[in-house]
A and B are shown apart, each in its own frame.
Chain A
Amino acid sequence: MNVFRLLGDVSHLVAIIILFLKIFRSKSCAGISGKSQVLFALVFTTRYLDLFTSFISIYNTVMKVVFLVLSYATVYLIYLRFRSSYDSESDTFRVEFLLVPVAGLSFLENYDFTPIEILWTFSIYLESVAILPQLFMITKTGEAESITTHYLFFLGLYRALYLANWVWRYHTEGFFDQIAVVSGVVQTIFYCDFFYLYVTKVLKGNSKLTLP
């Protein structure tokens, strides 16, 4: 464990908690892409199948459970509890255009052709594109509440910190997970234009992000 990975995990946890609390307290999921949240729940489900088979540490197990519970709870809030506020007309990204290529690639490029490893690879590739429905929804509606932008900021920051974690691990322990690194770079690149808007608009005190 290193400081970059720890900060990354904390940033990821903060993002997930921000979103959950925003929906739970405002009793509304307006502006939130339910499709992205379903994809994230799928990412955690396919990645943490080893929850019961391989024990890494208390921290690892606890964080996996927390991520799984919060992601499914968020999907529940969006599609069941506050479904009347779910803006399905704006959440129109064709997720099959993500799932099919990601599934295909996870069969082609993986470390080991076993169910667990292919599902882990699937989750890595899927996570790199899972935010696209949400980013697409924001460009479609042309705006996002500032709380939503804070969620996206910490979510984007988490994988950027993981990139630093991989640089650190490569130089200190020779660790290099090519699939995770390439996907992490792609994932972080998708946030770049959002990061620019976040810094130039939201941090200037605007109540919400309105796209030009």
Chain B
Amino acid sequence: YALSMPHDEL
């Protein structure tokens, strides 16, 4: 499944 939001963690 596509992870909706962009990766917000470093």
Contacts and interface: CB of A to CB of B under 8 A. Distances in A.
B9 A180 contact: yes
Contacts of B3: 111-112, 117, 177
B10 A67 contact: yes
Interface residues of B, number: 8
Nearest to A50: B6
Contact of B6 (A9, A54, A64): A54
Among B3, B6, B9, which residue has the most Cβ atoms of chain A within 10 A? B9
Nearest to B6: A54
Interface range on chain A (Cβ under 8 Å from partner): 10 to 19
Majority-rule SS of A interface residues: helix
Contacts of A64: 10
Nearest to A53: B6
A56 B8 CA distance: 6
A60 B8 contact: yes
Contacts of A9: 10
A5 interface: yes
A120 interface: yes
Given A12-B10, A177-B3, 8 more contacts: A50-B7, A60-B10, A63-B10, A111-B1, A112-B2, A120-B7, A162-B9, A177-B9
18 contacts: A47-B7, A50-B6, A50-B7, A56-B6, A56-B8, A60-B8, A60-B10, A64-B10, A67-B10, A111-B1, A111-B2, A111-B3, A112-B2, A112-B3, A162-B9, A165-B9, A177-B3, A177-B9
